[in-house]
């Protein structure tokens, strides 16, 4: 389960990185996301997200249950400590996966909006050029066309401001993605440390069992 979540988290982080930079791979990623949002894709995505939320809630409940046990006995057993750490790691990975999935959805939406705005800006610019080239000598018509040009220029400025705000949001999403990658690396290190501690505890328990068995055999003799 944990290895699957790490694989999913790595795949989502890679997809976010591909969507952030303008490369040939981003077109393929956009096509893949477009295909996933057609047909039964949204229903499947919602089902998977709901399942992950249920499992996340179950992990949180298990952690709370173990913490209550700590309050009753004043100290957790090594097994409970390992279980609590495992549930915490699973919950963190699921939360990060859901957050990255939301980032991917928003990045895809913003990229599509940016492309549509660029096309509108090009159309508006061409239209303003045509209007400037086809000015008539009549002063009334010139004033009317000038008003249209001014309104079109205002639309271009508004689109530019909107494009800049979308770019800032993309940069913020990139920063969040890098922070999540660092956190996932820290969780992986913590998980490896917990596995090593678990192995050490098992070895100690086996050593104690061997000593007890020897002492029992000596008493019998």
Q: What's the pLDDT at 147? A: 83
Distance CA(53)–CA(94), nearest Å, equals 8
Q: What's the pLDDT at 1? A: 67
What does the domain layout of the chain look like in residue ranges?
A: 1-70+83-148
**Which residue intervals of the chain are DSSP H helices?**
2-20, 24-36, 41-73, 78-133, 139-220
pLDDT surpassing 60 at residue 138: no
Distance CA(21)–CA(138), nearest Å, equals 50
69-83, 102-116, 163-177, 182-196: least confident range? 69-83
pLDDT tier at 52 (50, 70, 90 boundaries)? confident
Contact 4, 18 (CB under 8 A): no
pLDDT surpassing 80 at residue 169: yes
pLDDT surpassing 80 at residue 152: yes
Q: What's the pLDDT at 70? A: 63
According to DSSP, residue 221 is labeled -
- Token look-up 């390992």 returns 82
Full 3-state SS string of 62-88: HHHHHHHHHHHHCCCCHHHHHHHHHHH
């Amino acid at each position: 389960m944990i290895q699957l979540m790490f694989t999913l988290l790595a795949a989502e982080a890679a997809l976010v990185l591909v969507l952030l930079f303008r490369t040939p791979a981003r077109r393929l990623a956009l096509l893949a996301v477009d295909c996933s949002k057609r047909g039964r894709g949204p229903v499947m995505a919602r089902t998977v997200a709901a399942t992950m939320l249920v499992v996340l809630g179950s992990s949180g409940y298990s952690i709370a249950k173990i913490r209550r046990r700590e309050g009753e006995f004043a100290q957790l057993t090594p097994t409970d400590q390992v279980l609590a750490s495992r549930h915490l790691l699973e919950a963190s990975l699921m939360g990060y996966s859901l957050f990255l999935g939301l980032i991917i959805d928003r990045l895809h939406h913003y990229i599509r909006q940016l492309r549509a705005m660029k096309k509108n800006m090009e159309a508006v610019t061409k239209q303003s050029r045509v209007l400037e080239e086809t000015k008539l000598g009549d002063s009334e018509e010139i004033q009317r066309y000038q008003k249209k040009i001014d309104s079109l220029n205002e639309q271009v400025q508004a689109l530019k401001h909107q494009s800049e705000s979308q770019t800032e949001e993309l940069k913020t999403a990139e920063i969040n993605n890098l922070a999540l990658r660092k956190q996932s690396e820290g969780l992986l290190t913590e998980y490896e440390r917990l596995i090593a501690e678990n192995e050490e505890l098992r070895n100690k328990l086996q050593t104690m069992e061997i000593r007890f068995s020897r002492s029992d055999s000596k008493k019998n003799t």
